[in-house]
């Protein structure tokens, strides 16, 4: 837990937020500023500032994000239309909250490469 971190505070509930998925190690919320009809954030509870902080001991946790992403994408009906799972790592890549999180985006055509 990092006392100054928005997602740590949402994880432990000191900032209220509707969690659409919750486990001991992960939770998911709808993005406050959605960039697509479905825009969900999957957030590990443990504080890692960015992908650069991920270590081998985190591999099981990071792998489980894919299972949760698929479950949420299916719930949102994105299995046929497709969805994007993306992490912004560092300011230059657009990261604005420095607690690791995966974006699920879907529900509209998604162009490649992203801007």
Q: Which residues bind ligand AMP (CB under 6 A)?
A: 6, 17, 29, 31-33, 41, 88, 94-97
Based on CB atoms, which residue is closest to ligand AMP, 57 or 96?
96
Give me the least distance between CB of 89 and ligand AMP, in Å please: 9
Is 48 designated active site?
no
Residue 48 CA: distances (Å) to CA of 15, 52, 63, 98: 19, 8, 15, 8
Catalytic residue among 47, 48, 99, 101: 101
**Among Zn ion, ligand AMP, none, what binds residue 64 when CB lies within 5 to 8 Å by partner kind?**
none
Q: Give exposure, 4-43, as e/b (b: 16+ Cβ within 10 Å).
A: eeebbbbbeeeeebebebeeeebbbbeeeeeebebbbbbb
List, by residue number, the catalytic residues: 101
């Amino acid at each position: 837990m990092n006392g100054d971190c928005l997602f740590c505070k949402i994880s432990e509930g000191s900032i209220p937020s509707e969690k659409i998925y919750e486990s001991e190690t992960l939770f998911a919320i709808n993005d406050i500023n959605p960039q697509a009809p479905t825009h969900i954030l999957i957030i590990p509870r443990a504080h890692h500032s960015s992908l650069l902080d991920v270590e081998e001991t985190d591999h099981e946790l990071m792998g489980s994000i894919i299972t949760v992403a698929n479950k949420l994408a299916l719930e949102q009906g994105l299995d046929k239309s497709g969805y994007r799972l993306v992490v912004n790592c560092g300011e230059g890549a657009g990261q604005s909250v420095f607690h690791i999180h995966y974006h699920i985006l879907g529900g509209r055509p998604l162009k490649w490469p992203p801007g």
